Amino acid sequence: MTIPRSIVCHVLSLLIAGFGILSIALPGPFIELLRHSQSPGVMYFGAGFRLIFGVSLLMSAAKSRTPDVLRVLGWVFIVAGLLIPVIGFEFFSSAIDSFLSLGRWAARVWGVVALAFGLAIAYSVAPRSRAF
């Protein structure tokens, strides 16, 4: 039995959607999580997440419902993952500070976007339904 290539993409996209739900439902704890995550280690984790997600998008694209969109997104995530360490921790930290200064409404807006994005990717990589 082989594991479908899209399973990694499914898991990561649902993780993104889950963080979106957390941000919508509990913006305070989400903001605190971001505040405490400002470290070089988390920056590299974020870069690695983007690289793995990008590769999973590329690998899932061929059998997806939206192959061209997933290929473009895959390359965008890979480039972002490669650029994060190059841009550096100072920029990473200041971007988080800027986001945190916007308050709870920004966390909720980000949550809605993350939820929609995660669910859209999960739907896109799901096997196509067969018409009877």
Summarised one tens digit per residue, pLDDT across range 39-92 is 999 999 999 999 999 999 999 998 899 999 999 999 999 999 999 999 998 998
pLDDT of residue 48: 96
Q: In angstroms, rounded to a whole number, what is the distance separating the alpha carbons of residues 13 and 20? A: 11
Query: What percentage of the chain has pLDDT greater than the value 70?
Result: 92
Q: In angstroms, rounded to a whole number, what is the distance separating the alpha carbons of residues 93 and 35? A: 9
Are 42 and 62 within 8 A, CB to CB?
no
pLDDT of residue 81: 95
Binned at pLDDT 50, 70 and 90, residue 37 comes out as confident
DSSP label at 113? H
- Higher per-residue confidence, 53 vs 103: 53
pTM for this structure? 0.88
Are 125 and 70 within 8 A, CB to CB?
yes
Are 16 and 116 within 8 A, CB to CB?
no
- Higher per-residue confidence, 56 vs 127: 56
Q: In angstroms, rounded to a whole number, what is the distance separating the alpha carbons of residues 107 and 25? A: 10
